Amino acid sequence: MKDTLTVGLGNRSYPIILGNNLDADIEAILSGHREEKRQYAVITDEHVSLAHKAFFEKHFSGSPVMVLPAGEFSKDLSVLGRVYDFLAANRIDRTSSLFAVGGGVIGDLAGFAAASYLRGIVFYQVPTTLLAMVDSSVGGKTGINLEAGKNLVGAFYQPKAVLADMRFLRTLPPREFSAGMAEVLKYGLLGDAGLWEKLCSAGTLTPTHSELPGVIKTCCEIKARVVAEDETETAEQDGRALLNLGHTFGHAIEKVAGYGIYLHGEAVACGLVLAARLSQELGYLNATAVSSIMQMVLNYHLPAKLRETMSLESLMKAMGSDKKVKFGKLKFVVLHKIGEAHTDGNIETALVEKLWREAGAE
């Protein structure tokens, strides 16, 4: 069974292909390159490379493949420089393509390399994690981290196609799958009450759960629609910024804890609970709704509070350097109800500090 969605961006529109075995689709792209004598290279990480040797041998035997260390530390300026050197050493030119085969880190890093190398080459997203399939591979946000904060260097640069092959999920470590579920929960909360109800009633999803393909498709549909309406996150209100639900808190957690201590989805899960509490404090959500959000987070063994005490001052400072700050003010995403979110740039600092303290900061 295969589904194809479209991210509608005019002449830059591209497909999201979802299925359980996309060998034929990948080979069709590669055979087109071979027929036209266009080169292609691959960026992946050591975990994916080891778990899917047969995949790489089948499709990329004889092609330049760069295998990077797995984890958030690879989204770094020094690693980006190594990627540029790899592309140059293998004579990748403007007719060539780059394939990002991995999770969100690989997709973000390789996507930014593609956006900036020779001022832009074609790249394809082949996401191998749940988080990448439902979120980071779609929409063209690429980038790397700086010491000052997460994703502070990057570009909006759309892929040529996204090929989400769900067989990759069968080798995904349980912790990584759970981290991806944080982004799935986010989509239900911010824009689809029906999806949220399905998630609540389906039990705990697993890589082989019958509901998972449909859930992934729904998340991609939501993301594609939002991106088509506000590609570069410039809407004055709501727009693509809604996809940051939980992320303003989550990015601060990642930064202060040290990149890699929390998986991105784990930090986002904690951020979702904080966003729910913020929404409750503002009078939108009741205690029952907040409790249901917290329970769904805990069902996937994700953190609802900080695992260890963090400095409140450091967390607030990290939020202040977030890329979403405009004119010195930070915009939060709040839930008016489950399935309906809005941005709010008038949140009092004292309230944010109170929520951090409840979560374990001091």
Residues marked active site are found at 119, 141, 183, 223, 233, 240, 244, 247, 251, 264
In degrees and rounded to multiples of 5, residue 162 shows phi and psi of -115, 125
DSSP 321: T
The residue type at 68: L
Neighbours of 335 (CB within 10 A): 24
* Alpha carbons within 13 A on the beta-carbon side of 208: 2
| Phi and psi based region of residue 10 (left: phi greater than 0; alpha: psi -120 to 50; beta: remaining) | left
The CA-based diameter of the chain, rounded to the nearest angstrom, is 62
Taking a C-beta distance cutoff of 8 angstroms, is the pair 275, 333 a contact? yes
Taking a C-beta distance cutoff of 8 angstroms, is the pair 171, 51 a contact? yes
| Six token digits for residue 289 | 């709704």
DSSP 284: S
CA-to-CA separations, 125 to 89, 141, 190, 298, in angstroms, rounded: 22, 12, 25, 30
**Selection from 237, 226, 158, 227 nearest residue 192 by Cα:** 226
Q: How many residues does the chain have?
A: 362
The partner residues of 343 in beta bridges, in order of sequence, read 333
In degrees and rounded to multiples of 5, residue 301 shows phi and psi of 55, 35
User: Going by DSSP bridges, is the β-strand pair 332-337/340-344 parallel, antiparallel, or unpaired?
Assistant: antiparallel
**Torsion 361-153-13-68 (CA) sign:** negative
- Coil vs helix vs strand at 105: helix
